Copies of this chain bind each other. A is one copy, B any other.
């Protein structure tokens, strides 16, 4: 038998509920056999080799350059692997598959958004400017690299969106097969474009979406398919880069708030984990509050948080966990990527929001679409999930939950080019139809 890429004494899985541990490289189903809960990835630091906080940040600052002579090192090419010591410290370089993800812009709100959002210092981290156009690439590069170290040949999912695009791209780049199972006649050509382009095996079933999910789950349980979905906690490790990139941008200080959309809960989970990771490596600065935002159409975590606050129990966390229940029937929203009534990572979201003394918001549909339009006028085409976050931040500013002058970082999760239809829905009326083709007519329309 070949030597393992790392030992389970170095990096292992631990159940978030019953603390049962498992070997990360042997695991194939990613749910605790004792209690069915999710796993965390845990790293045992070699205390003798630990650097102090400033020594790490100095290394990370040096890697943050785009130079040819550094190119072959994934820690320089990727804005995720730049932080390898904090993300997946024991994974040997030979297993790393990167597409150069992570080097995303962090931009200040433009003039329209600033006027709309109120009196705060707002920044947006544009995670749609990634190889497959969504934040999933941050987690994908880690998931596929660990899968490679585990000797996996085929990964898969039943997703029409960002997950299948990410899984297909990284799997193919790693020389691995990606299987995407979808319901025939229920998906659009645009939805399967990215998996097809990235060489995935797309299998259409004569059934519903739920049937496809069931088939994928059974293939995973049978050990025939490695799961690329949110169950896989190695993705969360990569998503921590959002926190580290932000800290680095602000010269290793964290902001007052992180605003994130909450669908399955990867963002909520990873922001909290990233903050705790920084603390474990000696960060002693400000701890940002997580503001988790959900749409009116799917808000199981926001609703239960609000109820838990109303209950005024001493322990918000246990009250929240008690009150929380999945939302059986979801509504209609343009923020389809977060239209999830039963979030996989609900327990992690609760843990992290509570750890950061954070909060949750429910955002009106009209307001989230308005936020997308406002960003568009500033020149940034963001997805409706980003709209959810920005609207949630505006609500929190108006209610005083976010104090004036606070530094707030909004996580923009995908490229607006993936959502052209919904983004223009409310804008069709703005098109002006000229009666004839005379230049004078057009000049008149223009106000001359």
Residues of A within 8 A of B (CB): 64-69, 71, 99-100, 103, 105-108, 110-112, 129, 131-133, 154, 169-170, 172-173, 175, 179, 181, 184, 189-190, 192-194, 196-199, 201-207, 211, 214-215, 218-219, 222, 224-225, 249-251, 372-373, 376-381, 415-418, 420-421, 423-424, 427-428, 430-439, 442-443, 445-446, 448
Contacts and interface: CB of A to CB of B under 8 A. Distances in A.
Given A99-B107, A197-B373, A202-B431, 9 more contacts: A64-B65, A66-B105, A68-B249, A68-B251, A112-B172, A219-B442, A219-B446, A222-B439, A224-B443
30 contacts: A65-B65, A66-B105, A67-B251, A68-B106, A68-B249, A99-B107, A99-B379, A100-B105, A131-B379, A132-B381, A169-B380, A169-B381, A170-B379, A173-B377, A184-B433, A190-B420, A196-B430, A202-B431, A203-B434, A203-B442, A203-B445, A204-B432, A205-B442, A207-B437, A215-B439, A215-B442, A222-B443, A224-B448, A415-B415, A417-B417
A206 B250 CA distance: 52
A247 to B, nearest CB: 10
Contacts of A219: 439, 442-443, 446
A355 to B, nearest CB: 25
Contacts of A418: 417
Given A108-B71, A416-B197, A224 B446 contact: yes
A103 B214 CA distance: 42
Nearest to A423: B197
Say whether chain A's binding surface is mostly helix, strand, loop, or mixed: mixed
B437 A378 contact: no
Nearest to A202: B431
Contacts of A416: 197
Interface hub of A112, A381, A448 (most chain B Cβ within 10 A): A381
A251 B443 contact: no
B103 A103 contact: yes
A428 B198 CA distance: 13
Contact of A424 (B68, B154, B196): B196
A407 to B, nearest CB: 10
A421 B191 CA distance: 11
A284 to B, nearest CB: 19
Contact of A434 (B206, B378, B381, B442): B206
A218 B439 contact: yes
Nearest to A201: B432
A24 B132 CA distance: 40
B420 A379 contact: no
Given A105-B103, A154-B446, A446-B179, A376 B224 contact: no
A56 B59 CA distance: 26
Contacts of A424: 189, 192-193, 196-197
A206 B107 contact: no
Contact of A67 (B107, B249, B432): B249
A439 to B, nearest CB: 4
Contacts of A438: 215
A201 B437 contact: no
A175 B111 contact: yes
